[in-house]
Chains A and B, each alone.
Chain A
């Protein structure tokens, strides 16, 4: 499946100039191969192409527009393995009509897909350096491809640290996969929840509390942060307090992406269009905007 790829450039003008609107706005048909329930309100869709193509090539951190025919379209981060482009994986949280319709899809149903859009996590910047991933809630989905990518080329990187915060133990995404990663000697996985009943043997506390003691070299690390905006703001502060340079901190913004190609302007965030300049931004590009109310 040949698709427009927003790539890493983050240059909206150039990206918009490169877009063929007709191609970028027309969805391709995909088949639902599997629906997995992750938590009470979150599920993962495995999709394969109905229309002929060459696979779903994407960069970790990019998103697709998923279209439920007759209902509507939503931007959803790709949560699968970028080294295995034959399958498209999306983890979706039910928060409205379209996502509820996505949740109701069954194996064999068709769904429209446009993308991949937006910038990717600059994993290459972490060659020879420690990789620190901090995720909160559903924010684990857009960073999961980083883990796959780093594990596929493990010798290229230093330590791989995943710090994940969730609301409760029942809300943890990819719980079995987290266990598998935790069992590896070359991955450090730390999980915390905001609230837990007595039986929970893991950490309780906000995810920012994990940063201070996480095993990485702040002077030689690249951090990838994804979650609610408040969580990302405070995590960025903690990472900088630990000694990580702002330019080495990358966050994934979320706004009302609609066209996905920088034409409609719905996702404007200050001077940026999140759909083409982002969603992944180096912190210095957006940090001053994060504290502007209602932006």
Chain B
């Protein structure tokens, strides 16, 4: 059976991270599994965790009155989600729901914050990765907003 540290070493998000950082971060992680349709988190709930998906598929959703749950983004193996644990008020902004059987490493947010504060070099490495994901997600959201497939010049 693989250790959390071993699992992190194989995960795309942690690729190239020094082993000593992986060992530190692994101390905050635990293996979790979700069944299809299971909500991992709900908007407004306290955000204590950060997830690195190992297998499966997760949707980020928002409930819109009159429309119901709207899927904003789908995440799968090698991706991460959950950054509300970094900043106050530590509340989830979206619903996260497993679409398939999903296995992930769940990190304790308080534990992560403490380790990042105590080891700024590791914290910087971790946050750089986080920022890269956040920027990519923002780029994707902007392109989705552009609706590039929907607007066509009339000829």
- For the complex formed, measure the closest distance between the CB of B147 and the CB atoms of chain A, giving whole angstroms: 7
- C-alpha spacing A138/B141, complex, angstroms: 21
- For the complex formed, measure the closest distance between the CB of B54 and the CB atoms of chain A, giving whole angstroms: 13
- For chain B, what secondary structure do more than half of its interface residues adopt (helix, strand, loop), or is it mixed? mixed
Mark the stretch among B42-50, B74-82, B111-119 that contacts chain A: B74-82
- For the complex formed, measure the closest distance between the CB of A181 and the CB atoms of chain B, giving whole angstroms: 19
Question: When the two chains form the complex, which single residue of A166, A198, A234 contacts B69, counting CB atoms closer than 8 Å?
Answer: A198
Q: Which of B117-155 contact A (CB under 8 A)?
A: 136, 139-141, 143-144, 146-150, 152-155
| Contact (Cβ within 8 A) A230 B12 | no
- C-alpha spacing A230/B68, complex, angstroms: 31
| Contact (Cβ within 8 A) B143 A95 | no
| Contact (Cβ within 8 A) A204 B68 | no
- For the complex formed, measure the closest distance between the CB of B95 and the CB atoms of chain A, giving whole angstroms: 11
Question: B99's closest neighbor in chain A, by CB?
Answer: A201
- For the complex formed, measure the closest distance between the CB of B94 and the CB atoms of chain A, giving whole angstroms: 12
- For the complex formed, measure the closest distance between the CB of B83 and the CB atoms of chain A, giving whole angstroms: 17
| Contact (Cβ within 8 A) A209 B140 | yes
- For chain A, what secondary structure do more than half of its interface residues adopt (helix, strand, loop), or is it mixed? mixed
Chain A interface residue count, Cβ-Cβ cutoff 8 angstroms: 36
Question: B72's closest neighbor in chain A, by CB?
Answer: A204
Q: Which of A16-36 contact B (CB under 8 A)?
A: none
- For the complex formed, measure the closest distance between the CB of B66 and the CB atoms of chain A, giving whole angstroms: 13
| Contact (Cβ within 8 A) A74 B12 | no
| Contact (Cβ within 8 A) B149 A204 | no
Q: Answer whether residue A167 sits at the interface, using C-beta atoms and an 8 A cutoff.
A: yes
- For the complex formed, measure the closest distance between the CB of A41 and the CB atoms of chain B, giving whole angstroms: 9
| Contact (Cβ within 8 A) A192 B143 | no
Q: Answer whether residue B59 sits at the interface, using C-beta atoms and an 8 A cutoff.
A: yes
| Contact (Cβ within 8 A) A213 B152 | no
- For the complex formed, measure the closest distance between the CB of A189 and the CB atoms of chain B, giving whole angstroms: 14
- C-alpha spacing A208/B144, complex, angstroms: 10
Residues on B with C-beta less than 8 A from A98 are 155
Question: A203's closest neighbor in chain B, by CB?
Answer: B74
| Contact (Cβ within 8 A) A234 B74 | no
Residues on B with C-beta less than 8 A from A200 are 71
Question: Contacts A201-B99, A234-B139 known; A206 to B144 CB distance under 8 Å?
Answer: yes
- C-alpha spacing A96/B154, complex, angstroms: 5
- C-alpha spacing A200/B72, complex, angstroms: 12
| Contact (Cβ within 8 A) B74 A202 | yes
Could you list some 21 contacts between A and B, CB below 8 A? A95-B152, A95-B155, A99-B155, A136-B149, A137-B149, A138-B149, A165-B149, A194-B149, A195-B144, A201-B99, A203-B57, A203-B74, A204-B74, A205-B73, A205-B144, A206-B139, A208-B139, A213-B76, A230-B143, A230-B146, A230-B148
Interface residues of B (CB under 8 A from A): 12, 57, 59, 68-74, 76-79, 99, 136, 139-141, 143-144, 146-150, 152-155
